[in-house]
Amino acid sequence: VSNRSLTEGIMLIFYAGNKSQDSGIAEMEELPVPHNIKISNITCDSFKISWDMDSKSKDRITHYFIDLNKKENKNSNKFKHKDVPTKLVAKAVPLPMTVRGHWFLSPRTEYTVAVQTASKQVDGDYVVSEWSEIIEFCTADYSKVHLTQLLEKAEVIAGRMLKLSVFYRNQHKEYFDYIREHHGNAMQPSVKDNSGSHGSPISGKLEGIFFSCNTEFNTGKPPQDSPYGRYRFEIAAEKLFNPNTNLYFGDFYCMYTAYHYVILVIAPVGSPGDEFCKQRLPQLNIKDNKFLTCDEEDGVMVYHHAQDVILEVIYTDPVDLSLGTVAEITGHQLMSLSTANAKKDPSCKTCNISVGR
């Protein structure tokens, strides 16, 4: 690991077995044990850590040992030896100390952390304090900076633009019956699932209604196949996407396949969904972007979508069924294309950025 990518001289090393058997590491009561540990400034791939210490033998401390582990489900990794922690060794710098590094920190992930103080001896061995208490914390979502990196990667493969005229949403007949009976004919926003990038700030938080807008190259119309049900609601594009709405980039991912998905968010200006996105997502120019455009030509609104990615569009307000039509499709229900809670391929070089997965 290059020292240039480390913070405050932190190195990643591994110890196995009980610490009393660790070669060259001895316990020494005089070294102060860290307590009252505080974690702050948490990002998707870094955090700051500080703690309190008794003053005795404080001047002998040369290093800190930080035991950082993912908080696993008890049954998720039962073959891993429980006494094999991952330790960070850092020089004893003033606190708080920044810990960063995408090779061991992932976004939106729960971790446990404990700390020892250590004194390096002339022969290279360490004497160490007892471990501190164990505390837990969770890393943050991708920031706008990280999402902009994903956006730039998506733009590279978006392809040429094709015309579209409608947005559509496929569901089972029972879904539309339920909307009519229990929601006064209006489809309601629901919380987005955990499909896509692990660090996406919209997963599990943004409320919206999923629509598709991709067309078949040869017909210019929506495909007749769908993984989400045999009944389709179609609505004219201008009723959802127009100069009174804002457009945001939400995510870019694949599921171990050759094709890639881009999530876009359409939010009426000033709506709760718009305010949510404004703080978290890169905003796109509705007339000029690589994925979905809305522009006026000869007094008529004209719409285009990217050919080489599959667009998933989230609309953040309720949509009344009377604004469009519901009809049964003639094609197949291709369940293999479903993206519900789909896991992103962490090895794909096309749609990953270097801040964990």
What pLDDT is stored for residue 78 in this prediction?
A: 40
Over residues 145-161, the pLDDT tens digits come to 999 999 999 999 999 99
**In 17-157, which ranges are continuous DSSP H helix?**
144-157
Count of CB atoms within 10 A of residue 283's CB?
16
CA distance 264 to 241: 12
Q: Please tell me the pTM assigned to this model.
A: 0.82
**Residues 25/125, Cβ–Cβ less than 8 Å:** yes
Q: Is the dihedral of CA 95, 98, 104, 109 positive or negative?
A: positive
Q: Which of 4-18, 103-117, 130-144, 279-293 has the lowest mean pLDDT?
A: 4-18
Higher pLDDT, 219 or 299: 299
Nearest to 305 by CA among 245, 237, 227: 237
Q: Which of 79-83, 217-221, 326-330 has the lowest mean pLDDT?
A: 79-83
What pLDDT is stored for residue 276 in this prediction?
A: 96
Over residues 238-278, the pLDDT tens digits come to 999 999 999 999 999 998 888 899 999 999 999 999 999 99
**Residues 251/262, Cβ–Cβ less than 8 Å:** yes
Task: List CB contacts of 206: < 8 A, sequence separation 6 or more.
Answer: 191, 192, 250, 265, 273, 276, 277, 314, 316
Q: Which domains does the chain have, with CATH numbers?
A: 35-139 (2.60.40.10), 144-328 (no CATH)
pLDDT-derived band at 341, boundaries 50, 70, 90: low
Nearest to 110 by CA among 73, 146, 142: 73
What pLDDT is stored for residue 89 in this prediction?
A: 85
HEC per residue, 232-252: EEEEEHHHCCCCCEEEEEEEE
Q: What is the mean pLDDT of residues 208-217?
A: 91
pLDDT > 90 fraction of the chain, expressed in percent and rounded:
58
**In the chain, which ranges are continuous DSSP H helix?**
144-157, 173-182, 272-280
Helix (H) or strand (E) holding 224: none
**Residues 69/115, Cβ–Cβ less than 8 Å:** no
**Residues 292/306, Cβ–Cβ less than 8 Å:** yes
Q: Roughly how many angstroms between the first and final C-alpha of the chain, as a whole number?
A: 19
Pairing mode of beta strands 231-236, 325-328: antiparallel
Over residues 71-91, the pLDDT tens digits come to 875 444 443 434 444 678 889
CA distance 237 to 46: 41
What pLDDT is stored for residue 170 in this prediction?
A: 92
